[in-house]
């Protein structure tokens, strides 16, 4: 992780120094007196003059830049495209880059980068001027030997309407490089979907089924991924050394948010996953994670330069929720009658589920009916939770650099973790039809949310992924909301938004350093959240919500690593639940208590470690 932080800081300093020396070329768009191909011509002129790396191409607010051919960035050079800072009105919309509607132009790649690329305050619409999807990614093509590092720096960018490209079967950003370094800050990947039942739009991806590529570092901070096929895709022997997600919102992802399990150094913090892996899983085929999963190093299908003990994986301060409509559409609700082995759904499946699931239910093929994926599968959970006894007879973590805490899981909390989005980008009936056909007949179907808003250059866009859930609004490090703060909690680009972004930005460097320390040093460096005190004593917080029905969450902290138990008792002093009993590292932790099946009334929960005992009261309302 230190390598990641140093690399990103170096890239930022390089960018600042280059800006100080660069000339600005103002490029006219279609609505400010320009013509199709204006951006192509400006870039080519700088290449011909040998000044490309010393030039910033300045675009205009609320303008169209229609390209007439692939823009190529030669090896060893940098293309820098910048728009004005977007605001919260229509006239301050980011400039759009899109294709000509001409059918005589070859449209394989929008930008082919053999060098480096910087884009800031730009809206990339992967369509032509008539609104037709083009599937032409921004592709990074590295040198064959992998000797030269490539950099892609994207800030305040929108990437929209990107299907699975025909040429590379990759994503909005295609990595055909052995030394790619990507920094995505305040970016929004919107409607990266494909009508074809087999293909899925993606944010960043290696080419499908083409081995030999690699990322050194890739970082996503305050990014939103809404209505996607995948988000970050790595398959075959393609993987990244350092992968970083902080304060990101994932909404309506067909399959993988983060693929696959070949992580070396990965951190996912302060993120919000809603309707992740919408296809679910078929019980007869086994389950994978909805969020992240970890494949044992000796099971990875190619040689990797690390063992399981070498891996640094951090998953904290994040939530996973799945909408009730989606669970109903899969299998009629969360209930699994007759235990977890039979997977027999509730009979209400016949009135609310999709036709494929109803047919399998009536045929009693219960294991063929899709079910929501768990936040973490059993293999991944074992990496986080397994313990061993060391030579001193102490019980310690088996993998001290693979850690999770403060995770909010819908399978435990149900509606308590429902964000309550202000205006979710949900095209419900077409999406339900797409999923049903994918489970059954594999028919092509489009399900994007209001793509016409992108075509019309509407700004701000109509969706709003700010939310009302008070627990999630304080669940991030420092007490900040989970998910993307730039787009949803920032009045400078969304009028009337509650401003959490400015306060977060003021302490962002501290937060990043804390994450880096946790990732690099494991449990020995666990501290309390930035912005609060390091726990110097045992604490047991009041449960939230309280009163509750039927699920509540209990936070507690311990000053040193050691044995901890957290138990619940009734008014007669009888133990009714063990929430935790085992080794906990120093720091803040949470537990979930489910009062289903208990009578309403007053209960007590007790934290015990060594000679320390703390007891509090909770109220179950029924």
For 411-463, write each residue's pLDDT tens digit.
888 898 999 999 999 999 999 999 999 999 888 899 999 999 999 999 999 99
d(C-alpha 102, C-alpha 538), whole Å: 68
Strands 587-594 and 204-205: unpaired
pLDDT tens per residue across span 530-560: 333 334 578 898 888 888 888 888 888 888 8
Q: Which of 46, 51, 54, 60 is nearest to 22 (CA)?
A: 54
Strands 265-269 and 111-113: unpaired
CA 394 to chain centre: 36
Hey, which residues does 567 pair with through a beta bridge?
A: 578, 606
pLDDT tens per residue across span 98-134: 999 999 999 999 999 999 999 999 999 999 999 999 9
pLDDT tens per residue across span 216-263: 999 999 999 999 999 999 988 999 999 999 999 999 999 999 998 999
pLDDT tens per residue across span 337-388: 655 556 788 899 999 999 999 999 999 999 899 999 999 999 999 999 998 9
Cα-based angle 95, 101, 103 (whole degrees, multiple of 5):
145
Q: Are 239 and 305 in contact (CB under 8 A)?
A: no
Assign domain 533-620 one CATH number from 2.30.110.10, 2.60.40.1930, 2.40.50.140, 3.90.25.10.
Answer: 2.60.40.1930
Hey, which residues does 266 pair with through a beta bridge?
A: 243, 313
Residue 20 pLDDT class (50, 70, 90 cuts): low
User: How do the domains of the chain map onto residue ranges?
Assistant: 533-620
């Amino acid at each position: 992780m230190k390598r990641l932080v140093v690399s990103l800081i170096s890239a930022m300093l390089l960018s600042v120094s280059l800006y100080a020396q660069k000339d600005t070329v103002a490029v006219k768009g279609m609505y400010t007196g320009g013509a199709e191909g204006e951006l192509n011509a400006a870039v080519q002129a700088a290449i011909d003059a040998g000044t490309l790396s010393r030039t910033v191409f300045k675009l205009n607010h609320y303008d169209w830049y229609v390209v007439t051919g692939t823009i190529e960035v030669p090896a060893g050079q940098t293309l820098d495209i910048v728009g004005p800072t977007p605001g919260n009105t229509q006239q301050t919309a980011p400039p759009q880059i899109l294709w000509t509607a001409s059918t005589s132009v070859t449209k394989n790649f929008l930008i082919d980068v053999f060098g480096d690329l910087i884009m800031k305050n730009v809206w990339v619409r992967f369509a032509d001027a008539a609104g037709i999807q083009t599937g032409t990614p921004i592709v990074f093509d590295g040198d064959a030997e992998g000797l030269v590092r490539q950099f892609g720096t994207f800030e305040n960018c929108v990437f929209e309407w990107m299907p699975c490209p025909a040429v590379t079967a990759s994503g909005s950003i295609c990595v055909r490089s052995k030394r790619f370094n990507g920094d995505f800050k305040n970016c929004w990947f919107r409607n990266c979907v494909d009508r074809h039942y087999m293909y899925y739009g993606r944010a960043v991806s290696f080419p499908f089924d083409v081995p030999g590529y690699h990322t050194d570092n890739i970082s996503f901070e305050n990014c939103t991924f809404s209505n996607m096929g995948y988000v970050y895709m790595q398959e075959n022997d393609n993987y990244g050394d350092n992968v970083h997600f902080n304060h990101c919102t994932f909404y309506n992802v067909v399959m993988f948010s983060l693929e696959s399990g070949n992580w070396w150094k990965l951190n996912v913090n302060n993120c919000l996953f809603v309707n992740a892996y919408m296809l679910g899983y078929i019980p007869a085929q086994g389950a994978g994670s909805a969020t992240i999963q970890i494949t044992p190093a000796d099971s990875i299908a190619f040689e990797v330069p690390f063992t399981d003990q070498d891996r640094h994986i951090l998953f904290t301060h994040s939530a996973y929720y799945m909408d009730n409509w989606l669970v109903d559409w899969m299998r009629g609700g969360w209930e699994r009658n007759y235990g977890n082995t039979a997977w027999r759904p509730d009979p209400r499946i016949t009135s609310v589920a999709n036709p494929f699931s109803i047919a399998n239910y009536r045929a009693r093929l219960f294991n063929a009916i899709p079910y929501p994926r768990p936040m973490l599968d059993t293999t991944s959970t074992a990496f986080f939770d397994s313990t061993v006894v060391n030579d001193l007879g102490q019980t310690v973590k088996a993998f001290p650099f693979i850690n999770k805490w403060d995770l909010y899981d819908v399978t435990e909390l149900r509606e308590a973790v429902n964000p309550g989005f202000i205006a979710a980008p949900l095209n419900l009936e077409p999406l339900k039809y797409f999923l049903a056909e994918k489970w059954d007949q594999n028919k092509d179907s489009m399900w994007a949310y209001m793509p016409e808003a992108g075509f019309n250059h509407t700004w701000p866009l109509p969706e709003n992924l700010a939310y009302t859930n008070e627990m999630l609004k304080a669940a991030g490090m420092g007490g900040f909301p989970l998910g993307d703060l730039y787009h949803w909690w920032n009045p400078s680009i969304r009028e009337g938004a509650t401003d959490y972004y400015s306060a977060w930005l003021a302490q962002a460097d501290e937060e990043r350093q804390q994450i880096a320390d946790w990732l690099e040093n494991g449990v020995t460096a666990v501290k309390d959240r930035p912005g609060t005190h390091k726990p110097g004593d045992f604490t047991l917080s009041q449960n939230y919500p309280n009163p509750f029905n039927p699920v509540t969450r209990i936070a507690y902290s311990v000053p040193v690593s050691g044995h901890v138990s957290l138990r619940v008792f009734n008014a007669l002093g009888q133990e009714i639940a063990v929430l935790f009993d085992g080794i906990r590292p120093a720091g803040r932790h949470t537990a979930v208590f489910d009062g289903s099946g208990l009578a309403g009334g007053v209960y007590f929960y007790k934290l015990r470690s060594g000679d320390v005992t703390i007891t509090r009261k909770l109220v179950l309302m029924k």
